[in-house]
Structure 1
Amino acid sequence: MTRLIVAAGGGGDAVAAAMLDAALYGDGDQAVILTYAWDRLLIDPIPGPRSADDFTGLEVITPAVRKVPAEARPIAPAGSTLPRLAWELPHTIALIDPRHGAEGVTRQVEELLTHLQPTTIDLLDVGGDVLARGGEPTLKSPLADSLTLAACGQVNAPIRLLVAGPGLDGELSHEDLRGLLGPVVHTFTAKDVEPIGSVLEWHPSEATGMLAATARGVRGTCEVRDAGLPIPLTDESPTVHEVDLDEALSRNELARTIMATTTLDEAEALSREVCGFSEIDYERNKALWLKEQQPAKLDAGSVLPQLAQFEAEARSRGVTHTTFRHLTEVLNLDGSQRDDLRQLLLHSHPEQYAAPLWSITADGPQKPSRTP
């Protein structure tokens, strides 16, 4: 028996797909996870998603689809988490290559369906920005999700759209999503996190990290991203909802607009028209800014006092947790220093580790609690 899970936004959605597969099915057979190689600047210094030409060692699944085995490597200076995911997870990792726009992604999905004949097909988005109209002021990264939604909307197959961790991506709040979500399919628990526990120790995804933390019982407010966005961690956070795919497509103006695109550049230009911006432009600008910065040296003598100051200020804002990705930016460290920072903090204050988040409450990690 074969299953296909399309990770709508790539990155952490692929990790969540592995957790979903084990939680919903858990029959010993592993799903094929179709995902982008789009890890943002913390991992990949090149803006935008990677294509098949950016890797060595990919394997042919179909004429348009490549498998990412553990032996694959991104061609420098590109970076990617996918080979390590393929090494640590038992799933088959297949690459979404968006070079040929929505039509190209549609062709990849159709070829996989013909090749695999899957018994189930899920399109998974962590957070829910796949349901954005396109003009929301909090929307930051609609292009990847809109491309996969546009592609799946053109495939003649029963594809189930699932939103996990509503609001955790910080793009649409749970209140914004409340009337759009269908029935709860599953609520993740600590047991569901076990299959991806080792991945969460190094993977930079903030949304999937918060999803896992809330499945383990963490509640509070988590500050994320370079801008310090506060994300509520509630009893709704570890839930998975089914959403009608056709309704999502009718709501998502960008997805409808890019359905006939044949290049990524064309899809990006339409994103600027519909949403007023392109997330790849943001990455381009940030990459240029980062080149001009002088990263701080990771030294316990200077980092720990800066951390204490940040924690005090964050507590005054009502924040209880943050991510190591956010701490890396707050402390003006290079993205490559994230793992070293994590090891330093776990060694110095292990009681503050609310895996995979960092607790900044005065009394250590937030205890599980019920929200009203």
Structure 2
Amino acid sequence: MSDLYVAAGGGGDPLGTLIAARTLTAAPEAALIATYAWERPEVDPTHGPLGEEHFTGLVRDAGGAPAFSPATRARRPAGSTLPALARDLPARLLLLDPSRGLQALAGQIGAAAAASGGRIRIVDIGGDILTHGDEPGLCSPFGDALTLAACHLTGLPTTVHVAGPGLDGEIDERSLLGRLAGRHPHIPGPAAVSAAGRALAWHPSEASALWAAAVLGARGSVRTVNHALELTEASPGLYPLPLAEAIGHNPVARALLERPPPPSRRRPTSPTGSPASTGWRPSTPGRPGRTGRRAQSPSSTGTRPSRPSTRPPTAPATSPSGSPPAPSACTGRTSRTCAGSSAATPRCSRCPEPRPGPAAPPCGRARPPDVIRRTYAPGHSVRSIPNSTLS
């Protein structure tokens, strides 16, 4: 019997969650980790978290929950790193499916926790689970808030653990340490990191990789895809706090518990439902996940949006004076082609589809669309990972 660990934000959080599990549990048995299949756009070009219907080869584990095996595959066009993580991590990975609503998700987590020992440990890498909703760098609050609300509804003993404050680039370290004041952190050892070493060698996670580097002694400035971060003496810490205190910080989780969204028959673009159902509207659209990802803005219909068009781009529009309009800043990752630039120029996957009328602003970043790049640790060069390794 072991505790149920919940990787709060999906994406690369299972790697950091395994390091946390090896730190908090003396037994070397395979940790039981529940996670969303909610990936960055280079891995999954579709929008929102994947559910059971988007995979083949799932097996059943604790409480009848769907679990990943090395033979699991995502149905195209969806993509997921979780089958490969099931192969390379000494852990049992359960799929959290939020498409049926908050109550159903709570039931899924509660059944898995009851079957495994009756205690839940939520792990968040970076600390955006403690958001107040007004931080300028905030970009992925939905999955974390949904996790807090669902675990509260289970009624089971739950502890929240924040690993590597500020390493996801969303909330600065000083603010998070203020919110964690009085909490004495656990410090993982090299053995905990080595348990995830095989997966860290290829996975595009930045926050989990930076936490692992900090645990191994790395300090100093690091540049990730979208941020410049500092690894400090506080970076290796794993800070525990009660579930109620974490919910007290998070206004999205509180809104979900006050007015939980109704179950949906269709897969939502965001697990928190429409902005009207939560009482909170994001200031910046994007996609959920860790550093370099933005939370996808939910639609009012709950339907799954179409994939970006691959039609040739339209010519850039001109102003009344005849000069091209000034491009606005684009901070996204590159793929396909930006309207308003040449057909050979890769563009941000979040730029609007080409369409008649004013052209979309050209992307300020150009990178080959067939690789994923990330910084693993200070002093290391940016590495390229073929997309074929992620399917």
TM-score, normalising length: structure 1:
0.76
The superposition leaves residues 21-64 of structure 1 with CA deviations (integer Å, 9 ceiling, x where unpaired) of 22222412222100011111121111221111100011133777
Check whether the contact 1:66–1:95 (CA below 8 A) recurs between aligned residues.
yes
Q: Residue 273 in 1 paired to residue 280 in 2?
A: yes
Shift of 1:358: 5.9
Please state whether the residue corresponding to 2:42 is helix, strand or coil.
helix
| In structure 1, distance between residues paired with 2:307 and 2:173 | 28
Structure-2 residue corresponding to 1:77: 77
- Would the aligned equivalents of 1:296 and 1:333 in 2 still touch at CA under 8 Å? no
Looking at structure 2, the residues matched to 131 and 91 of structure 1 have their Cα atoms a distance apart, in angstroms, of 26
Q: Which amino acid is 1:276 matched to?
A: S
SS in 1 for 2:38: coil
Counterpart-to-counterpart distance in 1, 2:111 and 2:273: 24
Match of 1:252 in 2: 250
1:291 equivalent in structure 2: 336
Residue range with higher mean Cα deviation, 62-71 or 17-26: 62-71
The answer for the alignment partner of 1:92 in structure 2 is 92
Q: Which residue of 1 aligns with 2:367?
A: 332
1:91-110 correspondence runs (5 A):
91-110=91-110
Offset, 1:357: 2.7
Residue of 359, 362, 376 corresponding to 1:356: 376
Deviation by residue 1:141-188 (Cα, 9 ceiling, x = unmatched): 100101101111222111111000001111111111122115233113
Q: Structure 1 pair 287/167, CA: closer, same or farther in 2 (3 Å)?
A: farther
SS state at 2:212 partner: helix
Structure 2 residue 160 is the aligned partner of structure 1 residue 126: no
What amino acid is aligned across from residue 109 of structure 1 in structure 2? I
Q: Given residue 335 of structure 2, which amino acid in structure 1 is its aligned partner?
A: L
Residue 51 (structure 2) aligns with: 51
Q: Secondary structure at 1:257's aligned position in 2?
A: helix
* 1:214 shift after superposition: 1.1
Q: How many angstroms apart in 1 are the aligned matches of 2:5 and 2:203?
A: 19
Partner secondary structure for residue 186 of structure 1: coil
Partner of 1:307: none
Corresponding residue SS for 1:178: helix
| d(CA) in 2 for partners of 1:295, 1:75 | 29
- The size of the alignment, in residue pairs, is 312
CA RMSD in angstroms comes to 2.8
Distance 1:56 1:191 in 2: 33
Q: Is the 8 A contact 2:16 2:125 kept in 1?
A: yes
In the alignment, is the contact (CA less than 8 A) between 1:56 and 1:75 conserved in 2?
yes
Q: 3-state SS of the aligned residue for 2:280?
A: helix
Check conservation: 2:222, 2:378, Cα contact below 8 A.
Answer: no
Q: Within 2, Cα distance between the matches of 1:114 and 1:191?
A: 29
- Which residue type is aligned with residue 371 of structure 2? Q
Q: Deviation digits for residues 75-119 of structure 1, max 9, x if unmatched?
A: 01111011011111221100011102322221111111232234x
Paired residue type of 1:6: V
Mean Cα deviation higher: 52-61 or 287-296: 287-296
Paired letter, 1:357: A
Q: TM-score, normalised by structure 2?
A: 0.73
Report what 2:238 is aligned to.
Answer: 240
1:110 and 1:266, CA in 2 relative to 1: closer, same or farther beyond 3 A?
closer
Aligned match of 2:320: none
Give 1:245 deviation, angstroms: 1.3
Which of the two has greater helix per residue?
A: 1
What fraction of aligned residue pairs are identical, expressed as a percent? 33
In structure 1, give the amino acid aligned to 2:241: V
Q: Secondary structure at the match of 1:151?
A: helix
Letter in 2 for 1:180: R
Per the alignment, do residues 179 and 284 of structure 1 end up closer, same or farther by CA in structure 2, a change over 3 Å counting?
farther
Change (3 A) 1:241 1:63: closer
SS of residue in 1 equivalent to 2:248: helix
Shift of 1:121: 2.2
